[in-house]
A and B are shown apart, each in its own frame.
Chain A
Amino acid sequence: MKAVARLWVIPLVLAVWELVARGLADTDFPPPTTIVARMYELWFSGPQVFTDDAIDNLLPSLGRMFGGWVLAAVIGVTAGVLLGRSRTATDYVDPLIEFGRSIPPPLLLPVFLILFQTGLATQLATIVFGVIWPVLLNSIDGARSVDSTYVETATVFNLSRAQRLRVVVLPAASPKIFAGLRLSLSLALILMVITELIGGTDGIGYQLLQAQRSFDGAGVWAAIALLGILGYVVNSLFVLAERRVLVWHRQATRG
């Protein structure tokens, strides 16, 4: 009942949109029912729910997005946690990080296209380069601001360097690291789309571009809606996972 009270505006917006779009009868501004029908036709009307088009485009898209994100996460967390433990080391790389994260990643896409020649390497390199910064910066910040009592306790208990990182620093930094990972995930979706729009050969972004080039207005809207749903689902799943992993943190800070 509460959800109904909260979400009543959604059906209202959809109804108004439907009426206005039907009144305008412009193929570039289709009503929601047409968009949903086009989505069904494009991706979900196959023999086993998914069409061949869906399997050939959704899977590569998801693979690139998660592949790039996981790579960036591994590199970013490792480098960030190590750097965060030493103020001096961070000083050396600070200007480089500041410069690197200001580079608009889409500009590197054409450069990588020439350098790597293959599509997948180009796309992965662009995604990794674009999404690594929030993970790296948050990991540095998280590892730097570990409560000194924890570190001193670890020293008293004679933990080795590796043990100290694994048992003390990494868990203490994890709330910040997760915040960076979440931001990176939504960036990964954006970069996945742009890598498919520029020089791509498959994927949801590529389908979106094809729809635009063939003046298939409903197809364009359908692809955007699909990407929106994907963004929503991916973010929700991440929040769920974060709650599970960081359950101790919430319980500790609640008291």
Chain B
Amino acid sequence: MTGARMLRGAAGVAGFLVAAELLVRFGLSEKFVFPAPSTVLNEAGRLPADPQFLEGVAVTLSNWALGLLIATVVAVPLGVLLGALPPVERAVRPVLEFMRPIPSVAIIPLAILLIPVDELMKVSVIVYASIWPILINTLYGMHDVDPLAKETLRAFGFGPLAVLAKVSLPSSAPFVATGVRIAAGVALVLAVSAELVAGGSAGIGVYVGVAGSGNRTDLMMAATCWASVLGVAANLALLAGERRLFHWHRMRTGVTT
């Protein structure tokens, strides 16, 4: 990102904040009380000193990370297995196609019913929703493997496992990473959704719910901003990791983003 672009971006943010501030303070009707950006930012600045909020962030983040980890551990081997064995994939595919359109948040009430342990219920919901993007991307990566490279190794007498380890896995790894990054965004949404629906002792969603019962829209917006910051940070971190690990992939395919 060049200096001029960053400057324009900063100007855009500042312009938006000023416009929103003026609109909230002078433009809107009396009945519609949206917290002013200055109030929200002020509260957001104070939140890191609030132990209750910090505990919520810690709980949500650990559920998020655990769910994502379990989803990766389940979905990647499954994707590799299905990708390596086309007859199995053809057989299982219709089941996946029938399950995929189910909106993931609809699983939350079912999970509440089936899993009495609160933490376990929340992690399971995150796992269920995160498995899909990782699985689909792993499968896509396995299909994208250069057939010439596989044939070359086979011609040199390598067995199927060696071909898998030396060609298929490295070549689909960047796709897996993209799947994990997409799943991270989905997982955060599911983590807070489960907290909003089911409640619980702590979590960002729980914090927003509690602030809502006291009509503290400023606190709710401040916590929401922090959730967004966490989402942006996780996305950037995963993106940076992808670029570092797989710079050869970008050079090969010419994809710049």
Residues of A within 8 A of B (CB): 6-10, 13, 28-29, 88, 91-96, 98-100, 102-111, 113-115, 186, 189-190, 192-194, 197-198, 205, 208-209, 211-212, 215, 217, 220-221, 223-224, 227-232, 235
Contacts and interface: CB of A to CB of B under 8 A. Distances in A.
Contact of A224 (B110, B197, B212, B235): B110
Interface in B208-241: 208-209, 212, 215, 217, 220-221, 223-225, 227-229, 231-232, 235
A110 B220 contact: yes
Interface residues of B, number: 59
Contacts of B112: 212
Interface string B44-75: 00000000000000000000000000000000
A108 B114 contact: no
A187 B186 CA distance: 11
Nearest to B110: A220
B107 A93 contact: no
Q: Classify the secondary structure of A's interface with B.
A: helix
A219 B21 CA distance: 47
B12 A99 contact: no
Nearest to A224: B106
Interface class of chain B by DSSP: helix
9 contacts: A10-B95, A94-B5, A104-B189, A107-B192, A190-B103, A209-B197, A220-B110, A220-B113, A227-B106
A198 B109 contact: no
B109 A231 contact: no
Contacts of A190: 103-105
A215 B113 contact: yes
Interface in B7-38: 8-13, 15-16, 32-34
Interface stretch (B86-94, B147-155, B166-174, B247-255): B86-94
A8 B93 CA distance: 11
Contacts of A232: 98, 101
Nearest to B224: A107
Contacts of B235: 102
B217 A106 contact: no
Most buried by B among A106, A107, A197, A205: A107
A208 B113 contact: no
Contacts of A96: 12-13, 16
Contacts of B104: 190
A15 B91 CA distance: 16
Contact of A107 (B13, B113, B196): B196
A9 B212 contact: no
Given A104-B193, A114-B217, 18 more contacts: A6-B93, A7-B94, A8-B91, A9-B94, A28-B114, A96-B16, A105-B189, A106-B105, A111-B217, A111-B220, A114-B220, A194-B105, A197-B108, A212-B109, A227-B102, A227-B103, A228-B98, A231-B103
